[in-house]
Amino acid sequence: MHLQESGEMYLETILILSKKTGDVRSIDIVEYMGYSKPSVSRAVGILKNGGYITVDKNGYITLTHVGRELAEKIYERHNVLTSFLKSIGVDEETASEDACKMEHVISDKTFEALKSFLSK
Protein backbone atom coordinates (compact mmCIF):
# COMPACT_ATOMS: atom_id res chain seq x y z
CA MET A 1 0.00 0.00 0.00
CA HIS A 2 1.39 3.39 -0.99
CA LEU A 3 0.84 6.14 1.55
CA GLN A 4 -0.33 9.59 0.64
CA GLU A 5 1.74 12.62 1.64
CA SER A 6 -0.30 13.10 4.82
CA GLY A 7 0.42 9.52 5.92
CA GLU A 8 4.11 10.08 5.35
CA MET A 9 3.93 13.28 7.42
CA TYR A 10 2.36 11.36 10.30
CA LEU A 11 5.05 8.67 10.15
CA GLU A 12 7.79 11.32 10.12
CA THR A 13 6.15 13.04 13.12
CA ILE A 14 5.93 9.75 15.04
CA LEU A 15 9.63 9.14 14.32
CA ILE A 16 10.62 12.65 15.46
CA LEU A 17 8.53 12.41 18.63
CA SER A 18 9.84 8.93 19.44
CA LYS A 19 13.42 10.20 19.10
CA LYS A 20 12.64 13.15 21.41
CA THR A 21 10.60 11.48 24.13
CA GLY A 22 10.54 7.75 23.47
CA ASP A 23 6.79 7.47 24.01
CA VAL A 24 4.26 8.70 21.45
CA ARG A 25 0.51 8.96 21.89
CA SER A 26 -2.13 10.48 19.63
CA ILE A 27 -2.31 13.60 21.81
CA ASP A 28 1.42 14.18 21.24
CA ILE A 29 0.80 14.10 17.48
CA VAL A 30 -2.15 16.50 17.88
CA GLU A 31 0.05 18.96 19.78
CA TYR A 32 3.06 18.62 17.47
CA MET A 33 1.18 18.90 14.18
CA GLY A 34 -1.61 21.19 15.30
CA TYR A 35 -4.28 18.90 13.85
CA SER A 36 -7.62 18.03 15.43
CA LYS A 37 -8.00 14.92 17.59
CA PRO A 38 -10.48 13.33 15.11
CA SER A 39 -8.05 13.88 12.19
CA VAL A 40 -5.18 12.31 14.09
CA SER A 41 -7.37 9.45 15.29
CA ARG A 42 -8.42 8.71 11.71
CA ALA A 43 -4.81 8.83 10.46
CA VAL A 44 -3.61 6.57 13.29
CA GLY A 45 -6.30 4.05 12.32
CA ILE A 46 -5.22 4.12 8.68
CA LEU A 47 -1.54 3.71 9.60
CA LYS A 48 -2.39 0.87 11.99
CA ASN A 49 -4.52 -0.93 9.40
CA GLY A 50 -1.74 -0.46 6.84
CA GLY A 51 0.79 -2.14 9.10
CA TYR A 52 2.92 0.99 9.60
CA ILE A 53 2.33 1.35 13.35
CA THR A 54 1.09 -0.57 16.35
CA VAL A 55 -0.92 0.93 19.19
CA ASP A 56 -0.81 -0.78 22.58
CA LYS A 57 -3.65 -0.98 25.12
CA ASN A 58 -2.43 2.25 26.77
CA GLY A 59 -2.49 4.15 23.47
CA TYR A 60 1.26 4.23 22.90
CA ILE A 61 2.20 4.24 19.23
CA THR A 62 5.20 2.35 17.85
CA LEU A 63 6.45 2.27 14.28
CA THR A 64 6.60 -1.20 12.73
CA HIS A 65 9.69 -2.18 10.75
CA VAL A 66 8.01 -1.06 7.51
CA GLY A 67 6.75 2.15 9.15
CA ARG A 68 10.18 2.99 10.56
CA GLU A 69 11.90 2.42 7.19
CA LEU A 70 9.49 4.77 5.44
CA ALA A 71 9.67 7.36 8.24
CA GLU A 72 13.49 7.30 8.18
CA LYS A 73 13.45 7.73 4.39
CA ILE A 74 11.16 10.78 4.61
CA TYR A 75 13.12 12.22 7.55
CA GLU A 76 16.42 11.84 5.66
CA ARG A 77 14.93 13.55 2.61
CA HIS A 78 13.68 16.41 4.77
CA ASN A 79 17.10 16.92 6.37
CA VAL A 80 19.10 16.67 3.14
CA LEU A 81 16.74 18.94 1.22
CA THR A 82 16.68 21.49 4.05
CA SER A 83 20.49 21.50 4.18
CA PHE A 84 20.73 21.88 0.42
CA LEU A 85 18.27 24.78 0.32
CA LYS A 86 20.08 26.53 3.18
CA SER A 87 23.41 26.05 1.36
CA ILE A 88 22.09 28.00 -1.61
CA GLY A 89 20.97 30.89 0.57
CA VAL A 90 17.41 30.03 1.60
CA ASP A 91 16.60 30.98 5.21
CA GLU A 92 16.08 28.15 7.73
CA GLU A 93 12.29 28.43 8.07
CA THR A 94 11.61 28.64 4.33
CA ALA A 95 14.12 25.86 3.61
CA SER A 96 12.39 23.55 6.09
CA GLU A 97 8.90 24.39 4.79
CA ASP A 98 9.92 23.86 1.16
CA ALA A 99 11.81 20.66 1.98
CA CYS A 100 8.63 19.39 3.64
CA LYS A 101 6.78 19.78 0.35
CA MET A 102 9.59 18.45 -1.83
CA GLU A 103 10.38 15.35 0.27
CA HIS A 104 7.13 13.68 -0.79
CA VAL A 105 7.40 14.20 -4.54
CA ILE A 106 11.10 13.95 -5.38
CA SER A 107 11.98 10.68 -7.11
CA ASP A 108 14.45 8.25 -5.55
CA LYS A 109 16.71 8.72 -8.58
CA THR A 110 16.81 12.52 -8.25
CA PHE A 111 17.24 12.37 -4.48
CA GLU A 112 20.19 9.97 -4.77
CA ALA A 113 21.78 12.21 -7.42
CA LEU A 114 21.34 15.22 -5.12
CA LYS A 115 22.90 13.35 -2.19
CA SER A 116 25.79 12.29 -4.41
CA PHE A 117 26.28 15.88 -5.60
CA LEU A 118 26.25 17.24 -2.05
CA SER A 119 28.83 14.70 -0.86
CA LYS A 120 31.38 15.96 -3.38
pLDDT digits (tens, 9 = 90+) for 8-66: 999 999 999 999 998 999 999 999 999 999 999 999 999 999 999 999 999 999 999 99
73 closest CA partner among 40, 115, 119: 115
Give the residue range(s) of CATH 1.10.10.10 domains in the chain. Answer: 5-69
12 closest CA partner among 68, 93, 89: 68
The CATH architecture to which 5-69 belongs is: Orthogonal Bundle (1.10)
Give the residue range(s) of CATH 1.10.60.10 domains in the chain. Answer: 73-118
What would the DSSP string read from start to end of 57-106? Answer: TT--EEE-HHHHHHHHHHHHHHHHHHHHHHHTT--HHHHHHHHHHHTTTS
pLDDT digits (tens, 9 = 90+) for 75-101: 999 999 999 999 999 999 999 999 988
Predicted local distance difference test score (pLDDT) of residue 119: 87
The CATH architecture to which 73-118 belongs is: Orthogonal Bundle (1.10)
pLDDT at 1 over 70: no
Contact yes or no for 113/14 (Cβ under 8 A): no
Q: Which letter, b or e, does each residue of 56-78 get, where b requires 16 or more Cβ atoms within 10 Å of its Cβ?
A: eeeeebebeeebbebbebbbebb
d(Cα 68, Cα 53) in Å, to the nearest integer?
Answer: 8
